[in-house]
Amino acid sequence: MSIEKKIKSTVVLDIDTKTVLNLMHIGSWINEKNVNFFKPYNISSQQYNVLRILRGQKGRPISLTDIHDRMISKMSNTTRLIDKLILKGFVTRRIDKNNKRRVEIKITKKGLNHLCSIDEDISNHTEQVTQYLNYKESLILNELIDKLRGE
């Protein structure tokens, strides 16, 4: 179904508008799928992103700024996300004694175990989201998205 039909447009859209609306729509569609996927795990996709960043540190602490810089959604309130993950016991926060403004975050064993439980299902989730694309189409789509970002 075309984006015009999806949004019930009464006018023909120019190609740039159509492209942007399609991207906005697919982003919203994927976000909705992610919300439903992560709900049983009692975390958000942003919290999952933080946990993956921390797991990639292999036990080394990382600053709030560095976490934020690596986040997929730059609109996320990183401090609030960390606070929620601390309450769940998934991460720890330590303030540097020499520089009180430097806050270091580390993933806990409980956080790693929670990520492992998600890892078992996330692959099936991403395959389901992209099920209508073959491998070559996925490669092309990724190249076009990178090009759109100017990369």
CATH number of the domain where residue 110 is located: 1.10.10.10
Contacts of residue 101, Cβ cutoff 8 Å, sequence gap at least 6: none
* DSSP 8-state code for residue 151: -
When divided into structural domains, the chain yields a total of 1
Do the domain assignments include residue 143?
no
Q: pLDDT of 133-151, one tens digit each?
A: 999 999 999 999 999 999 7
Instruction: Work out the percent of the chain whose per-residue pLDDT is above 90.
Output: 73
Range of the domain at 12: 3-124
Q: pLDDT of 32-66, one tens digit each?
A: 999 999 999 999 999 999 999 999 999 999 998 89
User: For residue 39, what pLDDT is reported?
Assistant: 97
Nearest to 105 by CA among 79, 73, 135: 79
User: For residue 91, what pLDDT is reported?
Assistant: 97
Looking at residue 88, its amino acid is K
Do the domain assignments include residue 26?
yes
Do the domain assignments include residue 145?
no
Do the domain assignments include residue 102?
yes
